[in-house]
Structure 1
């Protein structure tokens, strides 16, 4: 016997046209509170943003172990795919490698503007 379903499947955005990001990669100063948090405590901000996106809270901490940031890149790709945003894997890789706090601000801004609902995971509720 299984417990109640806590997470409903999300609709996959399939569109013939692609949108642009709601903010540019260098537009992080538009929200100073978010900008300061991302630049002074990027791991905390990344974990918070990842949790709001519905993924594991500690996932971004795996980026600490190298100069390439696979979790940040995969989160950016995931947000881009979910909303049908123009871009390429190459650009995601470059941004994630050289502009880490900017990428997290961009992801957070996109989620706020598109109003992603928070997903509760049963892992943290037990």
Structure 2
């Protein structure tokens, strides 16, 4: 994806100003929501290495497999904590893909001053 293209996470910023600098470690995600958005964008652009790096070591799988889905948009439903100074947070979202919607409440935690994805509960539709 080109840096000037709209960011897949839906912030209405360019990918180069929004999630790409987080993917390339120019800057860290500053909140659980920002990490959620960056992880969604990583799925959308196929950056499995970023997904693996931002998955908490206590729950991280051995590898990340691309499910081959075409991601169409992200909708943030609810955010609980997860801001500067917090040690944990939750983000509920709906990730739209061609043919369906993934609805999940994800948990995030800070480790070594960085946000990591812990796990999530998928909501049935």
TM-score, length basis structure 2 = 0.29
Q: Could you say which structure has the larger radius of gyration?
A: 1
Larger RCO, structure (CA 8 Å, separation 6 or more): 1
User: Which is strand-richer, 1 or 2?
Assistant: 2
TM-score, length basis structure 1 = 0.29
